[in-house]
Structure 1
């Protein structure tokens, strides 16, 4: 079985490397545009007061105000309002400015009257939008790629032997768990597990194991016992298969009952 060219962590890192900058840049551009809008209505309002310090707002006053705006999109929506000195309940507005008409002091504010969508449209989102689009394309591609690889991984190989949630691939000579993660054995443990997988009923005699693994050793029972003892925790963590001793000097590979 070939290893995947791209790991899930790689897909995630690339996705967020594109998504996070797009969100940060997009939010930054949006916030900067809001500040620029307020700055524009402030300067336009200040100039309007200097030109038209009447005791009420007329069509001509509004015309002068809009002509002072530098942001074209604001000229169709912005308006002026005579107000009190108290802060406005509408947060997205100009500073409160005042001027005197005779003995009376009047207060006035300018309102951009822009929706969030309009501000977003004025905020120069080309680069953030490209990054955002790329992140979505990459995310969709990664999901399809990893899903395809996952299905390939889970597909049954022509020469696969399965015992419980333990799988052995003859073609790659590897053991896998139910998540298709490789189970790593020492060389001697691997040889013994291969013998169990290939044996009828996954059952082996002590003599057969000792003769195969330690052919020059007169009595390898203790060595075999140690080998089996060290394999058991590896199997216990990886799958629902265990090695049990049977009377008559046999070992058998069994599936644990849930």
Structure 2
């Protein structure tokens, strides 16, 4: 699977979930406004009020169809001017004697409450699937070697067991095509081994190449080899072995 395919699938799941979620949220807002509008209209038809009382509010809330609104909604006598709180009913008016009064109803519920009242089951399922797909895709591509790395390894590669060295990139890789990291000095020694005939080097040759100004670097070489061994142990089935006659050889471990 190519990365672009994973991205397309991710957005094919994520975008519908977001659009559907927002659409259901908007529909619920409209349904709430319609509910307070009809409840307010029935309240006015039931009885005209020159002021709002507890009985007025009880009548209004009894006409609401959405149970969640019965705990939070309220009424307010107002002017004809638009409300500064946009989420409210239409402004309705009626006459008391010679005076015309205006009244509005306010659902008084938060965005979170509206979201909770809206249908979010299908959007949530799509959203969760898209997140799981995204995470699994990231893990897949992190674990899978890239085509570039594969091409590097397959081109001009020297191998000893499960240890691979690409001459074109000057990098070491393990059997899973993951780069093996060495310190600069470790890398120099490993490169000497990998390109040497039979992967065999004398102590004198190594010391002269790595520490040309040092009179006796045998102890330093011993320490360097000792520190490389656990790196190789973790990465591949290759080891550095000392031979009689002051030689070191890079070889595959016997099973």
- Which SS does the other structure have where 1:29 is aligned? helix
Equivalent residue for 2:45? 50
The Cα offsets for residues 13-64 of structure 1, whole Å up to 9 and x where unpaired, read as 1111110110010000000000110111001100101112110001110011
1:7 CA drift (Å): 1.6
- Which SS does the other structure have where 1:114 is aligned? coil
State whether structure 2 residue 84 is matched by structure 1 residue 89. Answer: yes
1:162 CA drift (Å): 2.2
Equivalent residue for 1:163? 167
State whether structure 2 residue 64 is matched by structure 1 residue 69. Answer: yes
Equivalent residue for 1:17? 12
1:163 CA drift (Å): 3.0
1:160 CA drift (Å): 4.1
TM-score by length of 1: 0.60
Deviation >2 Å, runs of 4+: 150-167
1:139-178, aligned counterparts within 5 Å? 139-150=134-145, 154=149, 158=162, 160-165=164-169
- Which SS does the other structure have where 1:133 is aligned? helix
User: In structure 2, how many angstroms separate the alpha carbons of the residues matched to 1:165 and 1:141?
Assistant: 30
User: In structure 1, how many angstroms separate the alpha carbons of the residues matched to 2:61 and 2:47?
Assistant: 13
1:223-242, aligned counterparts within 5 Å? none
1:74 CA drift (Å): 0.6
- Which SS does the other structure have where 1:94 is aligned? coil
Equivalent residue for 2:96? 101
User: In structure 2, how many angstroms separate the alpha carbons of the residues matched to 1:77 and 1:150?
Assistant: 57
User: In structure 2, how many angstroms separate the alpha carbons of the residues matched to 1:109 and 1:146?
Assistant: 57
User: In structure 2, how many angstroms separate the alpha carbons of the residues matched to 1:74 and 1:95?
Assistant: 16
1:147 CA drift (Å): 0.6
Equivalent residue for 1:210? none
- Which SS does the other structure have where 2:145 is aligned? helix
State whether structure 2 residue 36 is matched by structure 1 residue 37. Answer: no
- Which SS does the other structure have where 2:22 is aligned? helix
1:166 CA drift (Å): 7.4
Q: What count of residue pairs does the alignment treat as equivalent?
A: 169
1:116-131, aligned counterparts within 5 Å? 116-131=111-126
The Cα offsets for residues 125-175 of structure 1, whole Å up to 9 and x where unpaired, read as 0000000011111111111111111389859774744235378x9x9xxxx
User: In structure 1, how many angstroms separate the alpha carbons of the residues matched to 2:111 and 2:27?
Assistant: 13
RMSD: 3.0
TM-score by length of 2: 0.60
User: In structure 1, how many angstroms separate the alpha carbons of the residues matched to 2:98 and 2:128?
Assistant: 59
- Which SS does the other structure have where 2:25 is aligned? helix
User: In structure 2, how many angstroms separate the alpha carbons of the residues matched to 1:128 and 1:116?
Assistant: 17
User: In structure 1, how many angstroms separate the alpha carbons of the residues matched to 2:170 and 2:31?
Assistant: 64
Unaligned 5+ runs, structure 1: 1-5, 172-177, 179-197, 201-258
User: In structure 1, how many angstroms separate the alpha carbons of the residues matched to 2:102 and 2:170?
Assistant: 80
